[in-house]
Structure 1
Amino acid sequence: MNTSENPRHSARPEEGSAPVSRSRDRDEQGRARNARPRDGLGRPLPYGAPGVARQPEGVPRTPDEALAEAQRLLDAGMPFHAHEVLEDAWKAAPESERELWRGLAQLAVGLTHAARGNAAGGAALLGRGAAALEPYAAAPYGIDVAGLSAWARELTGRLAASVEDAAAGPVSAAEEAPRLRGR
């Protein structure tokens, strides 16, 4: 069926008719939410394809629980999902810690882009994340700010070199996973 035969997909409603309403995936609260399955790096898959379970949003976690869950997901090669956990912590954090959690989420997204083969995007987000962590040298919760910053700089350097050499390819998310806390 072409789009002119399907009114849900027509570019313009017929003259005098009401605007076409496109159905959207919605969550239990009625918010728009893409229900397409996703792979381990958060990329959408076709409807009906087997995917990786998504991280539920808005889960209240203590900072220690958020760090432990994010680390588990990073170690499993799922930085996109770790980013969702860290984003929840960022949204729930006191104002004085929001940039810390935002920086951690950006590091996870940077690794996501690098693992998807987007070296330039990965490097940009890793740089932003590391910069956001700088004011937290004495980070709470045992977060290894110095180690994370060094990890981000080293990976950013490799990503930048791969772009310059036109050899950019995806990195292994599990092999490149940083340690959020010092060992």
Structure 2
Amino acid sequence: MDEKRRDRDAGGRARNARPRDGLGRPLPYGSTGIARQPEGVVRTPEETVREAQRLLDAGMPFHAHEVFEDAWKSGPEAERELWRGLAQLAVGLTHAARGNATGGARLLRRGAAALGGFASARPYGIGVAELIGWAEELAEQVAREAAPDRGVDPVARAPRLRGPVR
């Protein structure tokens, strides 16, 4: 395949068709990768939380971010900041796991800030206040221990969306 030609989906939109690893990094064409989450899936909030937690527990925060992104784009306006903040936490963990301390810390902090308006509530049983604390702590850790060749373990550092955060 011509590496300079952009992949397009059936609608003609640019869409990278390269296979991805468990952290969402593109692999060379022809490699075996991890199946991406289908885009545009409308789930109930319960299904969103359950699927995202499954992916986080499996060490696939990039894929969890895609689940949250679907909820952010399809959910009610009043909840968009909740789902956007959760997506940012997941992609922050993704960057931290890839060894990108600067990007990971930045996105973890941005996600925590986005969730601030939900901190006193537990929408859909999500421990927002606990997640904010988890994100701020992890952001400090990755910023302090920045090493481009060493990321955090995404399974060990995966948060619990409901209940105590690890």
Instruction: Tell me if TM exceeds 0.5.
Output: yes
| Superposed displacement of residue 28, structure 1 | 3.3
Name the counterpart of 1:169: 150
Q: Are the counterparts in 2 of residues 162 and 168 from structure 1 also a CA contact under 8 Å?
A: no
Out of 48-57 and 135-144, give the one that drifted further.
Answer: 135-144
SS of 1:175 mapped into structure 2: coil
Question: What are the Cα deviations for residues 19-42 of structure 1, in whole angstroms up to 9, with x where unaligned?
Answer: xxx743222333321110000000
**Alignment of structure 1 residues 130-169 onto 2, 5 Å:** 130-137=112-119, 138-163=121-146, 169=150
Count, aligned residues:
162
Between the aligned partners of 1:67 and 1:29, the Cα distance in structure 2 is 29
Between the aligned partners of 2:142 and 2:7, the Cα distance in structure 1 is 36
Question: What are the Cα deviations for residues 39-86 of structure 1, in whole angstroms up to 9, with x where unaligned?
Answer: 000000000000000100001100110110000000000000000000
Q: Are the counterparts in 2 of residues 80 and 109 from structure 1 also a CA contact under 8 Å?
A: yes
| Superposed displacement of residue 168, structure 1 | 7.0
**Alignment of structure 1 residues 15-30 onto 2, 5 Å:** 23-30=5-12
Q: Does residue 81 of the first structure (1) align with residue 54 of the second (2)?
A: no
TM-score relative to the length of structure 1: 0.83
% identical aligned pairs: 71
Structure 1 unaligned blocks of 5 or more? 1-7, 10-21
Between the aligned partners of 1:127 and 1:105, the Cα distance in structure 2 is 12
Name the counterpart of 1:57: 39
Aligned pair partner of 1:120 in 93, 102, 115? 102
| Superposed displacement of residue 160, structure 1 | 1.8
Name the counterpart of 2:82: 100
| Superposed displacement of residue 119, structure 1 | 0.7
Q: In angstroms, what is the RMSD of aligned CA positions?
A: 1.8
Corresponding letter in the other structure for 1:176: R
Q: Are the counterparts in 1 of residues 101 and 148 from structure 2 also a CA contact under 8 Å?
A: no
Structure 2 unaligned blocks of 5 or more? none
Corresponding letter in the other structure for 2:46: D
Q: Are the counterparts in 2 of residues 119 and 169 from structure 1 also a CA contact under 8 Å?
A: no
